[in-house]
Amino acid sequence: MTTTVGQTTQVYQVFIKASAEQIWDAITRPEWTARYFHGARITVTPEHYDSRSADGDVWGDSAVEVFDPPRKLVHGWRSLYDPELAAEDESRVTWEIDEEENGVCLLTVTHDRLEGAPKTAAGVSGTGWTGVISALKTLLETGAPLYR
Amino acid sequence: MVTYDHRVTDDDLVFKALADPTRRHLLDRLFERDGRTLTELESELEMTRFGVMKHLRVLEDAGLVVTRRQGREKLHFLNPVPIRLIHDRWIDKYAERRVSALSELKTRLEGRR
């Protein structure tokens, strides 16, 4: 058994005081993602998930499985900025937005199918997804990026 | 007597959930291997099934554990986001101040202010 803590199914959940539409825009439009997702400019269309650095390097380029605004987005995940990660199997990320009362939404991010991507699994766990999701919440609730 | 009529914040639920060794132990077990059933978790604790369920419920209410149905089984996943939020809200804030106080002291001692 490996001691790596990267699980093959990872679930992240957070309440965000924002509308489902705002959250949807924040995860599918580059002008938003650049402010909380390690500077990545991510564009999601019904067919395609495209992530690029500020300089235009391709960081992610995967198919979109489910595109149901503003409720559910499912896309492939392969990190292309690192040759070792890029060589691993593609995994899958599911975003679910559930509208609760009082203008609050529950956002659930599930990263699974990580069996063939142990380095990716270890990389996105720990401070990986939690950092991105925490920064997304702060950005939507305060209008300011978490890290300056 | 002081009464608190405001809604209990999420932070309160998280701090309360973490203020118990059994619940921290459960989180550590899930950290090692996620997506476990109640039966699996119960087998590692000297506690009744009911007791484990009670602790899992507190963790779920605090958002630290998320459950998913898979066929007939209910799987428990660790959700680390609330801990991260507490880190960002509390730990970062005070650690940052201490660092900046130290760097100010260094600047003064070195006569570069």
pLDDT in tens, chain B (113 residues): 443 333 445 788 999 999 999 999 999 999 988 899 999 999 988 899 999 999 999 999 999 999 999 889 999 999 999 998 888 877 777 776 666 677 777 777 777 54
Domain B1-79, CATH number (from 1.10.10.10, 2.40.10.340, 1.10.1040.10, 3.40.50.300): 1.10.10.10
Distance CA A3, CA B44 (A): 19
Q: Which residue of B has its CA nearest to A127?
A: B84
Query: How far lies B52's CA from each of A7, A121, A125, B27, B55, in Å?
Result: 23, 28, 26, 12, 5
User: In this complex, do B79 and A12 lie within 8 Å of one another by their Cβ atoms?
Assistant: yes
Shortest Cα–Cα distance, A86 to chain B (Å): 25
DSSP-derived 3-state class of residue A74:
strand
Domain boundaries, chain A: 10-142
CATH architecture of A10-142: 2-Layer Sandwich (3.30)
User: In this complex, do A7 and B33 lie within 8 Å of one another by their Cβ atoms?
Assistant: yes
Question: B73-78 and A105-112 as β-strands: parallel, antiparallel, unpaired?
Answer: unpaired
* Token pair listed for B93: 């804030």
Residue A62 φ/ψ, nearest 5 degrees: -135, 165
pTM of the model: 0.83
Residue A74 φ/ψ, nearest 5 degrees: -130, 125
Q: How far is CA A89 from the centre of its chain?
A: 17
Mutate to test the interface with B, among A4, A7, A96 (most CBs of B within 10 A): A7
Domain boundaries, chain B: 1-79, 80-113
User: In this complex, do A131 and B84 lie within 8 Å of one another by their Cβ atoms?
Assistant: yes
